[in-house]
Amino acid sequence: MKYLLLTIALFISSSASTQETENVFVIMTDGLRWQEVFSGADSTLLNDDQYTENIDKTTDKFWDGSANHRREKLMPFLWSKIAADGQIYGNRSHGNYMDIKNTYGFSYPGYNEVLTGYPDKEIDSNDKKYNKNVTVLEFLNKQKSYEGKVAAFTSWDVFPYIINEPRSGVPVNSGVEMISGETTEGQSLLNDIQTLYPSLASSRHDFVTYFAAKEYVKNNKPKVMFLSFDETDEFAHEGKYREYLYAANTADSFIKNLWEYCQSQPEYANKTTFIITTDHGRGDAIKDEWRSHGEKVKDCRSIWFAVLGPDVTAKGEVKTKGQLYQNQIAQTVANLLGFTYVNGHEIGQEIELE
């Protein structure tokens, strides 16, 4: 019996020692369709002047006859670094599926599912109501080694409610919220920009969200970071396809910049995993449904998922037939950090990344 217990203890110790991830960044861009992620700009929408202003200029930047080249133009970091060293899921053209579990197909239910692993039927609106469910961010913030090391920066101003900032203790800088406390020169500038240059699409510009988050990372060195961009969704709702493409392209640039920064810092280099995904899809391009999502829009259930980090086997675009779900992300985050996440509900199992 003693020998058996010793063997188990050694196995657990050995398994833990092989885990290299110490930090996880979850990065989301709202309502970005799998179609653009895997095939780049859609010709139907690109060549329709109802949706695309300045077609020639937009075509020069994003179009190519090859779907692979188009997607590389749209999201070059995803299709270079992550495609080489990470994993990308959700290309339905290959029978590789990633879907939402919640029945509603819009933002609050989707973000709740991502962060709790539990598609709660009672969350049926985007209203600013505090989430009764414990997110993986809150769970990790209660762990001794991660307390005070979890944070969130988001463009959409509902996230303080989704994450339940008062109860969870996770700081959530959201919408036009100013950066408070003793601020750096860069943070003061971002506060001025928020005040003087309001966004016409989202609660605030995604670039403000990004640079505010990066300043926080530089100054506070969080171990778990949630970052959410919103302009892809808002421009799509407005039927502005050019702006939608640029928003996706810019989000990819932010991810690249943040990854390279992390790899330059001893706290993060070679021990940080990025998880990148979306909260829901959108309707088909042939119909005006591409602007929409929700329970009645079938295609909005289709999403995608990418991951890059030291514990992730380099598989690139996964083309084998398979099915993943949005509710598996929360446990995957916890598992990467060596925890088993529980919140009182039946939640999705972690995604196998080896």
Domain ranges within the chain, ordered by starting residue: 22-336
List the alpha helices (DSSP H) in 19-119: 34-39, 43-46, 55-62, 67-74, 83-85, 107-116
Residue of 305, 319, 272, 301 whose CA lies nearest to 29: 305
**Residues paired with residue 323 on neighbouring β-strands, in sequence order:** 97
Per-residue pLDDT tens digits of the chain, which is 354 residues long: 444 433 333 333 333 448 999 999 999 999 999 999 999 999 999 999 999 999 999 999 999 999 999 999 999 999 999 999 999 999 999 999 999 999 999 999 999 999 999 999 999 999 999 999 999 999 999 999 999 999 999 999 999 999 999 999 999 999 999 998 888 899 999 999 999 999 988 999 999 999 999 999 999 999 999 999 999 999 999 999 999 999 999 999 999 999 999 999 999 999 999 999 999 999 988 778 899 999 999 899 999 999 999 999 999 999 999 999 999 999 999 999 999 999 999 999 999 998
N-terminal to C-terminal alpha carbon distance within the chain: 32
Would you call 81 helix, strand, or coil by DSSP? Answer: helix
210 vs 257: CA distance, rounded Å: 10
DSSP annotation of 89 reads: E
Contacts of 338 (CB under 8 A, 6+ apart): 16, 19
DSSP annotation of 297 reads: -
Q: Can you give the pLDDT at residue 75?
A: 99
Are residues 335 and 350 in contact, defined by beta-carbon separation less than 8 angstroms? Answer: yes
Q: Do you know the residue count of the chain?
A: 354
- Residue 254 CA: distances (Å) to CA of 25, 206, 237, 251, 270: 13, 10, 22, 5, 19
Are residues 88 and 78 in contact, defined by beta-carbon separation less than 8 angstroms? Answer: yes
Q: Can you give the pLDDT at residue 7?
A: 37
- Residue 168 CA: distances (Å) to CA of 18, 179, 245, 335: 30, 19, 35, 20
- Global confidence as pTM: 0.94
DSSP annotation of 353 reads: -
Q: Does domain 22-336 have CATH number 3.40.720.10?
A: yes
229 vs 114: CA distance, rounded Å: 15
Q: Can you give the pLDDT at residue 10?
A: 33
* Amino acid making up residue 30: D
286 vs 260: CA distance, rounded Å: 38
55 vs 53: CA distance, rounded Å: 6
Looking only at the bridges linking them, the beta strands covering 272-277 and 224-229 are: unpaired
343 vs 44: CA distance, rounded Å: 44
3-state helix, strand, coil in the chain (%, to 5): 45, 15, 45
